[in-house]
Structure 1
Amino acid sequence: MEPLKITTFQAYLFWENTEKNLSNLGLRLSSLQTSTDVIILPEMFNTGFTMNVEKCSEEVGGTTMKWMLEQAQKFNCVVTGSLIIKEDDLYYNRLIWMRPDGSYDQYNKHHLFSLSGEEKIFTAGNQNITLELKGWKIRPLICYDLRFPGWSRNHAPYYDILLYIASWPDSRIEHWQKLIPARAIENQSFVIAVNRVGYDGNEVYHSGGSMCLSPTGEVVYYKPESEDLYTFTIYPKDLISAREKFPFLEDADSFTIKNS
């Protein structure tokens, strides 16, 4: 494992306007003054969190994925975030992990947000994935997944980073602020959580609160309220030290989740 440079983009999003979002995100990213290993964008970064799939969905390899590849090549790093993908007449809230060479991995959101009717429109994913970057093992999840600790539970072979991208409203921001530290401590991993800011088309306000916490729950980065493009570095020694000092994962219950 090597030190990992991470760029989080807590972005203001324009409602259901892919062209404007990609233009604005690209313009803001052009101000990056440092190299990075990964750029992390919020949930549905190209449209905002919407159920309007007829207007906002794209096919695999569409406009937004092409834009992600362009950015990955421009900055020679991974670019990740989620968008609405239509595939075989089904709709997915899909995280894309785009590499500069054009290869990518994907994760379909497992827990669909019933308060907004997401489960009536989207198809849930049923498989966790583990990604690797510079020796780090990364588990990507999306927004509502944060509330379900069994889905993110760290089992051998252990992941090192738990990544959440979100469109988490200010009305429940206290839950966000409490659940993220819990996930870091119980899984003895870094947790990186990237939210959006501003009002969406339903007048729901998002206050950000993007953060990175260490495996012991210490704050590496935290930003409420305003749009923020920020790069920081995490170090293997902090992960190794925490797990050696407190080998709690070895005593954890062993279980698997059966998907219906």
Structure 2
Amino acid sequence: MEKPDYLNISNLKITVFQAYLFWENIEKNLQNLSLRLSSGVKEKTDLIVLPEMFSTGFSMNAEALAEEMGGRTMEWMKNTAQRYDCVVTGSIIIKENDHYYNRLIWMLPEGNYQYYDKHHLFGMGEENKHYTPGEKKVIVELKGWKIRLSTCYDLRFPVWLRNKNAEYDILLIVASWPDKRTAHWKALIPARAIENQSYVIGVNRVGHDGKEVYHSGHSMCIDPLGNTVYYKPEDEDLYTFSIGHEELVKIRRNFPFLQDADDFTLSGITT
């Protein structure tokens, strides 16, 4: 008897990089990231996840720092994906058609890519005055896993991230989440995992930014039952872990809560 399709999906090996970022210094950040990856990636991985605006820090200086699609940071991502033969993802500042985007790039080893433009822009930090919001949900696929892409502030909006019809297996969040709101981060990530019956992986940065805002990391992976797979506060960390698809399917089969979820449609949103 053939195995069901879900049993043919292999474990996914994920490398998260909770990085210290140098303020508005693309060259120094890319050099540091390359150095740390070369010394820290010791085994074959499927995915390397970097924080939000990993080449600049979370800056509103979009006009000075933005790159065109295919610019130096995307070229670095392409080369890094090729070097480690895996997907590399993280958000960067992009200028396109006279608009600026906080764009999460999903770079494949062969140089092809997909991207997600951050939908919820952080008004308290005036991100909405400098960047254009994305209007498209993006789900990518890796080794049979369905992965929903999201960025930082999106975490606060459960309707936007709702896992309708079990359309994704992993909710991936890249962030520049400040230490003073760590309690929210630590509460919301497990909540998103439990309510969506998915793994949730949140990758944050560490250190002070150019405005003396401190970031304390607390990157984590939470399973669909709310259990911790990975968690790291405070220090820069480069860590690889595996998650299993069969376990995800078993949880959804034993606790079929998603089948009772409300149906709804978000206006003005494309998929």
Normalising by the smaller structure, the TM-score range is over 0.9
Give, in whole Å, the separation in 1 of the partners of 2:166 and 2:187.
26
1:100 to 87, 91, 109: 109
Give the equivalent residue in structure 1 for 2:5: none
- Alignment-derived partner of residue 67 in structure 1: 76
* Residue 157 of structure 1: how far off its partner (Å): 5.0
Runs of 4+ residues over 3 Å off in structure 1: none
Does residue 225 in structure 1 map to residue 229 in structure 2?
Answer: no
Answer yes or no: is 1:4 the counterpart of 2:27.
no
**Equivalences for 1:17-56 in 2 at 5 Å?**
17-31=25-39, 32-56=41-65
Matched, 1:87 2:80: no
| Residue correspondence of structure 1 range 168-179 to structure 2 within 5 A | 168-179=177-188
5+ long unaligned stretches in structure 2: 1-8
Paired letter, 2:116: Y
Alpha-carbon shift at residue 241 of structure 1 (Å):
1.3
Secondary structure in 1 matching 2:164 = coil
State whether residues 166 and 258 of structure 2, in contact with CA within 8 Å, keep that contact through their aligned partners in structure 1: no
Q: Distance in 2 between matches of 1:22 and 1:28?
A: 10
> 2 CA distance for matches of 1:112 and 1:258?
18
For the residues of structure 2 that align with 1:26 and 1:88, how far apart are their CA atoms?
A: 30
Query: How far does residue 256 in structure 1 lie from its aligned partner after superposition?
Result: 1.3
* Structure 2 Cα separation of the partners of residues 55 and 20 of structure 1: 16
The aligned residue for residue 192 of structure 1 is: 201
Report what 2:252 is aligned to: 243
Partner of 1:160: 169
- Percent identity for Structure 1 against Structure 2: 64
DSSP-derived class of the 1:61 partner: coil
Q: Shift in Å at residue 55 of structure 1?
A: 1.6
Distance in 1 between residues matched to 2:159 and 2:267, nearest whole Å: 11
Q: 2:192 aligns with which of 173, 183, 192?
A: 183
Q: Distance in 2 between matches of 1:55 and 1:142?
A: 22
Q: Aligned-pair distance for 1:58?
A: 0.3
Residue 150 of structure 1: aligned partner: 159
Could you tell me whether the CA contact under 8 Å between 2:196 and 2:224 is conserved in 1? yes
CA drift of 1:259 comes to 2.6
Q: What is aligned with 2:219?
A: 210
Number of residue equivalences? 260
Q: 1:14 aligns with which of 16, 22, 32?
A: 22
**5+ residue gaps, structure 1:** none
